Amino acid sequence: MMRLNNISLLTERITERDKYPFNIPAIASLKSLRISSRVCFFVGENGTGKSTLLEAIASHYGFGLEGGNRNFLQAPQIV
């Protein structure tokens, strides 16, 4: 079983720091976040970057941004 131990923002890969999601203060100030337990809570006011950070983690590990497992693929909406 994989375990997430650390989250780091690779600033050298960011080309536009003044654009979303890098202009969110919590994301902009993130250097490294150490995860030391099996359960982690992200707490904060609306708009502080909690969901953005969780979506980035999910994307990195190959999970769908809308939830589910790696085998779940959201069908495109036809309008």
Could you report the per-residue pLDDT of 21-49, keeping only the tens digit for each? Answer: 899 888 888 889 999 998 989 999 998 88
% of the chain beyond a pLDDT of 70: 81
Rounded to whole angstroms, how far apart are CA atoms 71 and 62?
A: 9
3-state secondary structure 21-74: CCCCHHHHCCCEEECCCCCCCCCCCCCCCHHHHHHHHHHHCCCCCCCCCCCCCC
- What does pTM read for this prediction? 0.68
pLDDT at 72: 58
